[in-house]
């Protein structure tokens, strides 16, 4: 069996319980077809970069699975037919990362981004221009 990661966006007007119920529903669909859900995370309501079906926000959910491709195809097919699901993304991965996803980690645990270095460059460019 192969390892997959799925991200699902559900409509914003659902309650949290309904959105988590969708995750459980699609997890059982996957299990019924011979797959297993390694981990499931409900990320909550997040603002999207652009409108999808006149919605600016959506309930995000993340699944880590170990399943045959037929089970994943069936789950995706049912997700795309479901009225409450707006978008689905499935990626085949070589291995699942341990611990929570980046979305679930606290900002302090994510690590420092470091200095991008572009702020100091602008000041130097201004000095050269002024000369």
Tell whether the model's pLDDT for residue 9 goes beyond 70.
Answer: yes
Query: Would you place residue 102 in the very low, low, confident or very high pLDDT band (cuts 50, 70, 90)?
Result: confident
Q: What is the pLDDT of residue 103?
A: 79
| Crossing angle of the two packed helices 16-32 and 69-81, in degrees rounded to 10 | 150
Average pLDDT on 50-64 reads 91
Closest CA to 78 of 2, 8, 4: 8
Express each pLDDT in 12-24 by its tens digit. 999 999 999 999 9
Between CA 17 and CA 77 the distance in angstroms is 23
Domains of the chain with CATH codes: 2-95 (3.30.70.60)
Of 111 and 42, more confident: 42
pLDDT digits (tens, 9 = 90+) for 68-86: 999 999 999 999 999 999 9
Q: What pLDDT does 87 receive?
A: 93
């Amino acid at each position: 069996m192969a390892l997959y990661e799925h991200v699902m966006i559900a409509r914003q007007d659902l309650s949290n319980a309904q959105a988590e119920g969708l995750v459980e529903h699609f997890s059982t669909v996957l299990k019924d077809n011979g797959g297993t859900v390694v981990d499931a995370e409900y990320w909550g309501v997040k603002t999207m970069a652009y409108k999808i079906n006149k919605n600016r926000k959506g309930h995000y959910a993340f699944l880590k699975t170990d399943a045959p491709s037929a089970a994943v195809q069936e789950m995706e097919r049912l997700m795309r037919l479901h009225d409450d699901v707006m978008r689905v993304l499935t990626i085949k991965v070589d291995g699942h990362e341990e611990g929570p996803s980046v979305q679930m980690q606290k900002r302090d645990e994510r690590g420092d981004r470091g200095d991008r270095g572009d702020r100091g460059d602008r000041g130097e460019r201004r000095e050269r221009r002024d000369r």
